[in-house]
């Protein structure tokens, strides 16, 4: 698994404005430079923060995706989904 790559990607969303814009307009193209498994790519592009959480991706860093409206996420649905991850026995 490429958890560190996913964490870096989330952090870059905050720091790099051009990357953030690419994630908002062409997320599939933007993530091509990251070494992710097909499962990780699918979960990320679907905004499946529960699956990403279970893979070990940092919840706080994933919040940047919601903050900037990336991969169908927003603050409300991110909060609801990540709360359900904690109650589903996969919390960290």
Output the domain CATH number for residue 67: 1.10.700.10
Give the count of domains, the chain.
1
Place of tokens 């991850």: 85
Mean pLDDT of 14-37: 97
Nearest to 63 by CA among 17, 76, 18: 76
The whole domain housing 66 covers: 3-90
> Would you state the structure tokens that stand for residue 73, as one six-digit string?
């996420």
Higher pLDDT, 2 or 90: 2
Alpha-carbon span 28 to 56, nearest angstrom: 21
Percent of the chain as helix, strand, coil, to the nearest 5:
75, 0, 25
- 92 pLDDT tier (thresholds 50, 70, 90): very low
pTM for the structure as a whole: 0.89
- In the block, which residue shows the tokens 């996420």? 73
């Amino acid at each position: 698994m490429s958890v560190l790559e996913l964490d870096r990607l989330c952090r870059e969303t905050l720091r790099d404005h051009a990357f953030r814009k690419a994630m908002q307009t062409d997320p599939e193209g933007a993530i091509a430079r990251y070494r992710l498994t097909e499962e990780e790519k699918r979960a990320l592009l679907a905004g499946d923060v529960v699956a990403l959480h279970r893979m070990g991706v940092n919840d706080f860093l994933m919040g940047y995706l919601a903050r900037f409206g990336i991969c169908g996420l927003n603050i409300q649905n991110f909060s609801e989904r990540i709360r359900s991850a904690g109650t589903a026995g996969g919390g960290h």
